[in-house]
Structure 1
Amino acid sequence: MQLIQSFLTACFPGEAIQLVPITGDASFRRYFRFSIAKKSYILMDAPTPAEDCSRFVATQQAFVQAGLLVPQIIAQDIPLGLLLLSDLGDTLLLSKLTEQTVTAFYHQALAELTKVRTISSTSAGALPVFDQAFLLREMQIFIDWFVLQHLKLTLNEQEQAMLLRHFLLLADTALQQPQAGMHRDYHSRNLMLQPNGDLAVIDFQDVVTGPVTYDAVSLLKDCYIKWPAELVQVFSHELYQSLRAQAQLPLDISPEQFQLWFDWMGLQRHIKVCGIFCRLYHRDGKAGYLADLPRVFDYVLEVTSRYPQLHELDLWLKQKVQPALEVRG
């Protein structure tokens, strides 16, 4: 806190600054809000080596150049991991989503993704690639933290081999898709509604080049709010038509093939998130995410039960994992 105060004193000499903590996200970053002369600011504390402040700065610049609304960087101390940011308010899109507003807001949010997809590099170089190894590392979190740590289950060799087969199938299917700029955590808690109706994007520092459906399925099958499957399918078909119109999807890709890509991409993400939420609880002491775990697991079962190719995984989840989750809570 002494280093933070020294940084702020250099930014605002002679001002008495009262920091108010803001509820953090699923990282090691901390955020504080304060006001000077009736103008509000955000201080981001992203301590090294756990966080890479320079990557945030480079990505912020790339998002601005792509035409996206993101926090402005007013001052920075990269070695200390401190950034002074403009304040985009505290109105999360999640807080404004209802059955009456969801269609308009989601059309708006999906339109912003056309800008995200144009990003291929930052001043730090080409974006990291969301490749097979990356995808498999993410799904391993499901095994390590959800299955073994949270549910206290054990896996025999046959189960391990079955999971690897399915994880490889999901990874390979993801990589069949066109690849583009990808936010990697695009959902209603990372979109801020502005007073003029615009949507601002936050938590963008993990941008990669990856499957074209990933961000859309992250939004439409949101881990924090759920919509009827019929509505999600309407949006996914509109995305299919939009990508074709923008020449971002080969013309020989059928709606059925695209729907499989969309669903299986969501499955990969939700498998990972089950592990992430448990890791946040057991490793980082953040218990709040456990309340959303049943919703995320339901997303997993919705997809595994729909596709015959995933029957073996579906059976294992329903016979072994689901009962353990119901007991564990």
Structure 2
Amino acid sequence: ARVRGVARRRPGTRAASSGRFLRLDAGGRALMVRGVPPGHADCRPVLHVGQLPRDAGLNVPAVIEQDLGQGLLLLSDLGEQTYYQRIQDGVDDARLQSMYRDALAALVRLQQARTTGLAAYDSARLADELTLFPEWYVRKHHGATLDDKTTQALDKIFALLSASNGNQPTVLVHRDYHSPNLMLCDQPQYGPNPGVIDFQDALAGPITYDLASLVTDARTTWEEPQQLDWAIRYWEMARAAGLPVDADFAEFHRAYEWMGLQRNLRILGVFARLNHRDGKAHYLAHMPRVNAYVRQVAQRYGVFTPLLRLLDKLDDRQVSVGYTF
């Protein structure tokens, strides 16, 4: 691909995926190059999956040019900052609420997209992902060995979570719909806010998954009243759009919390693996936050007491006491 003008490099965004981004100023036109190292992945999922949210009205990068043999895509640029970067720089509450209302509205549009050609994010896949928690977080990260009683208790909890979450209504699931993958589009040339990136791993799966990704974000800490407010706002938007969310908010909220618990257990395992296997120690900084999100839900439902006791043992705490449903 050839772009007229002088290209000037600017910092891009980074994620835990194999894709790398380079932002360019080319003849007064803001562009982004996405590159995938040979042998890691290819760009074809980006091309296919990207059309699905675009057709639903989301602001996603447009493909200007492509070189699939080299694993390169030239994309339209969606802004200078991710949500995460803006939050780290400091943002007042009014602006924060506006940003997240936009993100919730975009999520509702995303969930109205077609799921053509997407693999199923079903109970079996959810169950398989949960094995990361005992393997990498418990055994490798904490150096702990599970006794038979605890193993059986975890197996029951994992089976319950996977069955419950796998039975939710199915929509397009981004899988990482959180602050690092939402671009703050605060200039007209970038399109409507937010811009959504890094969607190539999308699946057809549980309707509450991406809401849990956004609200219990591994990189941002939100107090429970704020979490509840955003969950309510999403639920109201989703119902108004005709999405298949439960008409009973209490049941919807339980399903959303259980989905968040499953996701965050997986993330603890993923972050432990990124550190111990891949040498990416910076992910350790996010573990206490994810642990807190896990505890928040585990304390609320009596069925998860064995999990809570395990976390207490791993963290060398006294046994937690919470209220249950």
Class of the TM-score when normalised by the shorter of the 2 chains: 0.7 to 0.9
Q: 2 CA distance for matches of 1:86 and 1:249? A: 33
Secondary structure of the equivalent of 1:74? strand
Query: Is residue 2:153 matched to residue 1:162?
Result: yes
Q: 2 CA distance for matches of 1:222 and 1:278? A: 17
Structure 1 counterpart of 2:315, from 303, 311, 322: 322
Residues 98, 172 of structure 1: alpha-carbon distance in 2 compared, 3 angstrom cutoff: farther
Structure 1 counterpart of 2:176, from 181, 185, 204: 185
Structure 2 counterpart of 1:127, from 118, 123, 128: 118
Residues 163, 205 of structure 1: alpha-carbon distance in 2 compared, 3 angstrom cutoff: same
Q: 2 CA distance for matches of 1:185 and 1:176? A: 20
The alpha carbon displacement at 1:175 in A equals: 2.2
Structure 2 counterpart of 1:39, from 4, 22, 29: 29
Structure 2 counterpart of 1:73, from 58, 63, 69: 63
- Which letter does structure 2 place at the counterpart of 1:79? G
User: Unpaired runs of 5+ in structure 2?
Assistant: 318-325
Secondary structure of the equivalent of 1:22? coil
Matches within 5 A, 1:168-247: 168-194=159-185, 195-196=187-188, 198-247=193-242
Instruction: Give the conservation status (yes or no) of the 8 Å contact 1:120–1:126.
Output: no
The alpha carbon displacement at 1:72 in A equals: 1.5
2:43 alignment partner in structure 1: 53
Q: 2 CA distance for matches of 1:90 and 1:144? A: 38
- Which letter does structure 2 place at the counterpart of 1:132? S
Q: 2 CA distance for matches of 1:56 and 1:245? A: 30
The alpha carbon displacement at 1:291 in A equals: 0.9
Secondary structure of the equivalent of 2:25? strand
User: Unpaired runs of 5+ in structure 1?
Assistant: 1-9, 325-329
Q: 1 CA distance for matches of 2:301 and 2:284? A: 27
1:140 alignment partner in structure 2: 131
Equivalenced residues, count: 309
Residues 218, 98 of structure 1: alpha-carbon distance in 2 compared, 3 angstrom cutoff: farther
TM-score between the two structures when normalised by the length of structure 1: 0.87
Residues 47, 240 of structure 1: alpha-carbon distance in 2 compared, 3 angstrom cutoff: same
2:320 alignment partner in structure 1: none
Q: 2 CA distance for matches of 1:212 and 1:280? A: 27
- Which letter does structure 1 place at the counterpart of 2:221? K
Q: 1 CA distance for matches of 2:41 and 2:79? A: 23
Percentage of pairs with the same residue? 35
Instruction: Give the conservation status (yes or no) of the 8 Å contact 2:173–2:205.
Output: yes
Residues 240, 33 of structure 1: alpha-carbon distance in 2 compared, 3 angstrom cutoff: closer
Instruction: Give the conservation status (yes or no) of the 8 Å contact 2:207–2:245.
Output: no
Q: 1 CA distance for matches of 2:17 and 2:97? A: 30
The alpha carbon displacement at 1:90 in A equals: 2.5
RMSD (Å), alpha carbons: 2.2
